[in-house]
Amino acid sequence: MAATNPDVQVTWSAASSVTLSSTARVDSDALTLNAADGPASVQISADNSGTPSAGDVLNVYAKYTNGDILGDTGDDYDTNKGATFLGQLDTYSTNGEDPIRRTYDLRSFGKKGVKISVDAPQGGVSGRNIVVRARIVTNRQQ
């Protein structure tokens, strides 16, 4: 059976990146998973718009959905605290670099959809914003 690796840019309100200028949690647009998708991964890019300082990190989460669990309208994604923590990217050189990119495995198999969720605990401090981009690749059976 042949397989492909379709890749898709994660969007944020239809934009290809999101700029975190506050500490608020931001979710990507929903990505519906294909039934033939197997293992998947997401590559995250974090670029500090200013001169980094200790604590200028990006927390990355995955919010999955199995559909309309509430039985109202639309798919229901994991909540902020229920989201799966994927990792933390540090833009300060003690532990990281700027810009920094890292790829995480997504346990998306058997799920209906996913959103990438991010926050920057020091987003916007002294004008330092974190510019985030993400790209997902799945292994799809033909």
Partner 1 sequence: MTPRELQAEILSGPKAAECAPYVNDGSDPSRKATAYADDQAIAAILSEGRVKIASKEIGDGAVANALGYPDGPVFLYYLAQAASAPADQTPQSIAACAMAAQAWRSLSKASLDVGNLSVRAAIDMMVGTLLTAEQAVAVKALAEQPDSVSAADVSRAMRGPWGDE
Q: How many CB atoms lie within 10 A of CB 39?
A: 14
In angstroms, the CA 34 to CA 36 distance is 5
Could you say whether residue 129 binds partner 1 (CB under 8 A)? no
Using CB under 8 A, pick the residue from 12, 92, 119, 138 that binds partner 1. 92
Is 125 a binding residue for partner 1 by CB under 8 A? The answer is yes
Beta bridge partners of 89: 58
Q: Report, in angstroms and rounded to the nearest whole number, the Rg of the chain calculated over CA atoms.
A: 16
Name which position in 4, 16, 93, 141 contacts partner 1 (CB under 8 A).
93
Q: Which CB sits closer to partner 1, 4 or 23?
A: 23
d(CA 114, CA 65): 6
Give the range of 3-11, 13-21, 79-87, 125-133 binding partner 1 by CB under 8 A. 125-133
Give the number of other Cβ atoms within 10 Å of residue 42's Cβ. Answer: 23
Q: CB of residue 54 vs partner 1: minimum separation in angstroms?
A: 3
Out of 32, 34, 51, 141, the only residue in the binding site for partner 1 (CB under 8 A) is: 51
Q: Is 46 in the site for partner 1 (CB under 8 A)?
A: no
Count the site residues for partner 1 by CB under 8 A.
Answer: 15
Residue 123 binds partner 1, judged by CB under 8 A: no
Going by the DSSP 8-state scheme, the letter that residue 29 receives in this structure is P
d(C-alpha 72, C-alpha 31), whole Å: 20
Residues with Cβ within 8 Å of residue 71, at least 6 apart in sequence: none
The binding site for partner 1 (CB under 8 A) comprises 50-55, 92-94, 98, 122, 125-128
